[in-house]
Amino acid sequence: MSGSGSDGLFGALFDRGAAGTGDQAWLQAMLDTEAALARAVERAGLAPAGSGTAVTAVARAVFFDNGALGRHAAMTGNPVPALVRALTELLPAEADGAARAVHRGATSQDIIDTAAMLIASRALDATLADLSAAAGGAAALARDHAETVMAGRTLLQQAVPVTFGLVAAGWLTAIDEARQDLHRIRSSRLAVQFGGAAGTLASLGDAGPTVAALLAEELGLADPVLPWHTNRHRIVELAAALTGTCAALGKIARDVTLLAQNEIAEVHEGAADSGTGQRGGSSTMPHKQNPVAAIVILGCTKRTPGLFATLAAAAEQEHQRAAGAWHAEWETLSDLLRLTASAATWSTDLLTHLRPDPQRMRANLDATGGLPLAEHVAAMLARSMGRLAAYDLVAQAAARAVASGIALPDALLADKESAAKLAEAGISQAQLQAAIRPEGYLGATGEFVHRALSAHAACDAALAS
């Protein structure tokens, strides 16, 4: 569970978000769970007054040796037994009876699973904050470039015109959908785990459900219908939402890497990162300015599907306690939370500093001599000669245009057959030139950008309430 560490060799790349999933964070989350349990047990009348306060006072990670706990974990399969012993030994002698509140009614899985929920809740809070900022950056791009015409691209080839605002609106909508999914998980699906040895809480008698409810209240987590020791749907839901978030961020990053290629050069990342010189440089090529933020986002997001697959595979767990599948979750979930948080932080950087180049966008579109508007021309001809015949006629003209290096209108007018068909359809040269103007063939682009921005405002309001 150590992660790369934000100050490690790769930490500034892949542990850039404030996920808090390292060993120290896990230790504190387990201690927070034990302290909350002691308070809940006291509130339920099962431990002397002051027990919860006494346990909470010593439940601080700085008082514990992670290395020693890890070595003991090799003897028991998890670090909780050693943690409980060390926590109990830290209680002062005058805290009479407080030891009875430590780990009362719990099993190791209760502590680790609840700690995992705390880790997730804290990581999601940080990730959601970064996603909100990233969405704000995408919204600004959508708003500012709603009418900035550029080539749409399908299968990596120029298609029909779009606007950069529509592209950014697509990014925005995907981020907002991810935010809503993560918020739902954060609000309702992160629950305490408290079932004791086999999910019955038998050691607490009739007080078990009461203590579970009090524990949930103490930690600000949901109180589940019953213990979920081998029902891992919550973990799978969380993992799916994180992976979906990374899919949305990875798509944005991939678009940027493609649009930032020298031959296209329609967007550029922010140029500098304070204290490290020019960002994007090469170890050997002085001219390079690589899209670092987009590249590192992809470095994070391409690892997450495999982590999700591991957690989904681990969800099949036998009887009342899994042998190995539960253990496979700990570091896997930590990595998934960490990489998602890092991708979200990098995405904020990317989207708030991205510099579109409208002139280059238009130049790339114009360089094709009207070919991206071939569909528009074919639609005009279809009124008089039928859709398929019009398609074939324009396709042949497009092929001639490419072969001869001329514009589509010139290829149509230079051919006797296509020129005659244009005349029959009543399409003049001026109308043909107007038909290849990209501003005239944007369809519902403006409406879609408006919808995305309106939905974003509603998303912000809903998540803030």
- pLDDT at position 283: 52
The DSSP line for 247-270 is HHHHHHHHHHHHHTSTTT--EE--
Domain range summary for the chain, segments of one domain joined by +: 108-359, 370-435
- pLDDT at position 102: 97
CA 336 to chain centre: 10
**Alpha-carbon torsion (72, 192, 197, 52), positive or negative:** positive
Place of tokens 């990342």: 269
* CA distances for 206 relative to 42, 44, 201, 260, angstroms: 15, 11, 9, 64
Active site residues: 282, 321
- pLDDT at position 3: 43
- pLDDT at position 11: 81
Place of tokens 């918020």: 183
Catalogue the E-assigned strands of 116-206. 149-154, 157-163
Contact 230, 320 (CB under 8 A): yes
Class for domain 108-359, per CATH? mainly alpha
Contact 291, 280 (CB under 8 A): yes
- pLDDT at position 10: 85
Please identify every stretch of the chain with a pLDDT value under 70, giving residue numbers as ranges: 1-7, 271-288
Between CA 216 and CA 227, with CA 221 as vertex, the angle to 5 degrees is 65
Burial state string for 318-339 with b = 16 or more CB within 10 A and e = fewer than 16: eeebbeebbeebbbbbbbbbbb
Any long-range contacts for 215-220 (C-beta under 8 Å, 24+ apart)? 215/36, 215/37, 215/40, 215/114, 216/191, 216/192, 217/40, 218/36, 218/37, 218/39, 218/40, 219/32, 219/33, 219/36, 219/114, 219/117, 219/118, 219/192, 220/121
Instruction: For the beta carbon of residue 109, count every other beta carbon within 10 angstroms.
Output: 24
Contact 432, 413 (CB under 8 A): yes
Contact 335, 303 (CB under 8 A): yes
Q: Which DSSP category does 278 fall into? A: B
Task: Give the predicted TM-score (pTM) of the model.
Answer: 0.93
**Alpha-carbon torsion (416, 417, 421, 424), positive or negative:** positive
Residue 356: its H or E element? strand 355-356
- pLDDT at position 1: 46
Any long-range contacts for 406-409 (C-beta under 8 Å, 24+ apart)? 406/369, 407/369, 407/370, 407/436, 408/369, 408/370, 408/371, 408/373, 408/374, 408/377, 408/436, 409/370, 409/433, 409/436
Contact 152, 158 (CB under 8 A): yes
- pLDDT at position 95: 78
* Burial classification of residue 7, based on how many CB atoms lie within 10 Å of its CB (0-12 exposed, 13-18 middle, 19 or more buried): exposed
Contact 139, 343 (CB under 8 A): no
Residue 167, C-beta contacts closer than 8 angstroms, at least 6 positions apart: 150, 255
Residue 386, C-beta contacts closer than 8 angstroms, at least 6 positions apart: none
Token couple for 262: 């020298």
